[in-house]
Amino acid sequence: MKIKSFLYIGLAVFATNTMFAQANILNAKIPEEIGMKTEAQLLLDNDEPLEYGYVGDRDILFSKMIWEKIVLDERVNFPLYFPIEENLGDDRKSLYQVLLENMKSGMISKVYADDYFTEERTLKDLEASLTMTKITDAGIDYMNENGVGEDEIPEEYIIRREIGPADINSFLVKGLWYFDKRQGELKYRLLGIAPAAPDVNFIDSEDSANNEPIPMFWIFFPEVRDILHEAKAFNDKNSAVPISFDHLLNSRRFGGLIYKEENVYGDREVKEYVAENALMQLLESERIKDKIRNFEQDMWSY
């Protein structure tokens, strides 16, 4: 009986590795066969993200909405940032690249201007914040000398700049901490995510004041879970078993700094009432975190 159980476990592990490994890389005779999956592999890949369980309003004993900033310079957040190159294949993309490509293809049909998801934006509306086209001083002189319009200027007089994966320096996430009294557990539900980068018009400026990251658009997270489940983040400990962006974010495998909580003052940010003091802002963020954590501890105090 033990041998049979061991065999079942071994087969399950083998099937999981086969599902996540780069398809057919060991059996390919030519480079074009890499990534071509067999029928058995396609059946194994027919999985979906783990569904959220239903939570009734009466089951929520306590809740607190918070906003966090995920700084991509931190090592723990590297899986969300890298790779910044855009030609490594369909299975190696950064989170920003996954979001942007699915927006362009129409798979992500709704993006929002704010973190309350009240004002929708289209990809055309976002062009001004994603791309920049600028005519150089020499190009203006060329226009004046030759009496031509902007459409007739040679390309050498035009500067084009587009926000790329390397320019994203942080992600902003909005989520709800809540205490489920049915299960007696403090849980977290991610609701929104936004890539943040400096203004495209000043992104190459040496002035640090112009390099402050701003959210480019907000996405309602539950709406894109299927897409993020298909996209995989790189696992530097075992490349045969990557982790989906959906799992990575839902399991909170990232380091975030709380920069805002819902409050009576119109959900003002920490920097608005703790101004020009980075250390005190960090301590205030930790205080908010401890306040949420202590509620769960108090539930089990007698």
Structure tokens of 261?
Answer: 């909580």
Neighbours of 216 (CB within 10 A): 23
Which amino acid, residue 199?
A: D
Is pLDDT above 90 for 40?
no
Q: What is the pLDDT of residue 4?
A: 45
Q: Shortest CA distance to 248 belongs to which of 79, 108, 110, 75?
A: 79
Q: Between these two residues, 10 and 22, which has the higher pLDDT value?
A: 22
Q: What is the pLDDT of residue 186?
A: 93
- How much is the mean pLDDT over the chain? 85
Number of helical (H) and strand (E) elements in the chain, helices listed first: 10, 12
Distance in angstroms between the alpha carbons of the first and the last residue of the chain: 46
Q: What is the pLDDT of residue 172?
A: 97
Which neighbouring-strand residues pair with 186? 179
Q: What is the pLDDT of residue 6?
A: 42
What Cα–Cα distance (Å) separates residue 177 from each residue in 67, 186, 198, 289?
11, 7, 29, 10
Q: What is the pLDDT of residues 277-299, one digit of tens each?
A: 999 999 999 999 999 999 888 88
Alpha carbon distance 188, 179 (integer Å): 9
What Cα–Cα distance (Å) separates residue 197 from each residue in 50, 69, 172, 277, 301?
31, 12, 11, 22, 44
Structure tokens of 223?
Answer: 């709406």
Candidate ranges 48-52, 213-217, 231-235; pick with highest mean pLDDT: 213-217
Q: What percent of the chain has pLDDT over 90?
A: 55
Q: What is the pLDDT of residue 44?
A: 64
Tell me which of 63-77, 139-153, 186-200 is least confident: 139-153
Work out the pLDDT band at 231, boundaries 50, 70, 90.
very high
Q: CA angle at residue 140 from 138 to 146, to 5 degrees?
A: 100
- Quote the pTM value: 0.82
Q: What is the mean pLDDT of residues 41-55?
A: 78
Q: What is the mean pLDDT of residues 160-175?
A: 94
Q: What is the distance, to the nearest Å, from the Cα of residue 265 to the centroid of all Cα atoms in its chain?
A: 28
Q: What is the mean pLDDT of residues 265-275?
A: 94
Q: What is the DSSP letter of 186?
A: E
Tell me which of 89-98, 166-175, 262-271 is least confident: 89-98
CB crowding 61-90: b at 16 or more within 10 Å, else e: eebbbbbbbbbbeeeebebbbbeeeeeeee
Q: What is the mean pLDDT of residues 202-229?
A: 89
